[in-house]
Amino acid sequence: MKRLLVWAAVLLALASCKKQESFSQSFQAPIGDIRALYIRLGNNMWCDWPTQTMGDNLEEAVTLLPERKRPDLKLTTVDSLWRKVTDHAAESGINMLVVDLGEGLQFPSHPELAVEGSWSVEKMRTEIKRLNALGMEVIPKLNFSNTHNGWMKDYRHMVSSAPYYQMCSDVISDAMEIFGNPRFFHIGYDEETPAHQNLFTYRVQRVDESWWRDFLYIIGEVERHGARPWVWSDYGWYHPEYYQRCPKSVVQQNWYYDEAYGGFDPETNQTRDHDRLLAFWKLEEAGYDQVPCGTNWVGFKRRELKIDADDVIGKLVQTCRKVISKDHLYGFMMAPWSACTPQGTPFQLRGIDLFKEALEADPE
């Protein structure tokens, strides 16, 4: 009996030591000169997920969804291309990666969210250390918008329920630990509108206080772990109260891609992009810290006119450096919106080059 008690004490001590093992990132991007690149690990942020009534055979159930909204059941990120993109980012002066995790990471608390090929905790930490050594801080991103939560699988059908809240809390806790208690945590929260869900077979949109309750809950979970929430700012385009109700601790990321090709002057831009553009001014007036986001992705009007978006990030940087005070302009982010695949990688590399040019250009 005594021998068993000794062994139990040893095992408890070992478990305690293991739990206390800490991991911290060794590099931080300078506030005021954040040069962030959005990079996608998972891909199930734009998909639907089969409901239980579609059957127990997942592969067959997926085929019942609209083709454009079917989830990937295997991770599509190619490791060699991920390394190619991140190496080029480091060489180009990028000092932060915002990693959209989705289904790309094996969460210890919820292994059921993984797919074939999802990265292990050890693989992610090894990669974070490599990226830190290259001079890049690594920030986790999990999108809690109902338009971008296919990565949640069945929890996508449980929004605002007790199991849903617990899962959200669990994966935030996992990501915080895996990423070494990062300074920031991107929580997404963009495009939760009927128009953005028109191809889904299962549509959920929170409105009014339901949206605010869930939004503030996620913010609270991130802050409970000592990180600053980072969010897409587009809820403010349609809801003026956002500029008073959203906590000032939340880093704002307004994204403006000039999709309607109306330009960067709110006095002359009379397109549907007007309110998106004006948000930079409103966020500055309200006193929020900002990391504006640009792209080389081509929006609807530019596609119609057969015009690329190579000018967007440069004009965005020039505009926001004039509009946002130095105290609140934390830096910029480039989002090519393509994956580390043979089809997407050239677009990512081009986006990085455009971002470098924009940041190094002389002010107008």
Q: pLDDT tens across 283-303, in order?
A: 999 999 999 999 999 999 999
Q: What percent of the chain has pLDDT over 70?
A: 94
- pLDDT of 16 over the 80 cut: no
Q: Looking at residues 118-147, what average pLDDT do you find?
A: 98
Three-state DSSP state, 200: coil
pLDDT at 21: 61
pLDDT tens, residue by residue, 19-50: 446 789 999 999 999 999 999 999 999 999 99
Question: Residue 12 pLDDT more than 70?
Answer: no
The DSSP bridge partners found for residue 14 are: none
Q: What is the pLDDT of residue 215?
A: 98
> Is residue 22 included in any domain, yes or no?
no
Q: Is residue 4 part of a domain?
A: no
How many folded domains does the chain comprise?
Answer: 1
The answer to whether residue 135 scores a pLDDT higher than 70 is yes
CATH number of the structural domain spanning residue 77:
3.20.20.80
DSSP code per residue over 291-318: --EE-----HHHHHHT--STTHHHHHHH
Question: Would 130 be classed as within a structural domain?
Answer: yes
Would you say 136 and 89 are in contact if contact means Cβ atoms under 8 Å apart?
A: yes
Instruction: Specify if 280 maps to a domain.
Output: yes
Rounded to whole angstroms, the Cα distance separating 342 from 35 reads: 25
pLDDT in tens, 337-347: 999 999 999 99
Q: Is 334 a domain residue?
A: yes
Question: How many Cα atoms within 13 Å fall on the side-chain side of residue 289?
Answer: 17
Residues contacting 337, CB < 8 A, separation 6+: 38, 295, 297
Residue 237 pLDDT exceeds 50: yes
Query: Does the pLDDT at position 363 exceed 90?
Result: no
Each residue of 98-126: b (16+ CB within 10 Å) or e?
bbbbbbbbbbeebeebbbeebbeeeebbe
pTM of the model: 0.93
Please give the residue range of the domain that contains residue 131.
32-360
Per the domain annotation, does 21 fall within a domain? Answer: no
Q: Does the pLDDT of residue 8 top 70, yes or no?
A: no
At 22 the pLDDT is: 78
Residue range 201-228: mean pLDDT, rounded: 97
162 found inside a domain:
yes
Residue 25 lies in a domain: no
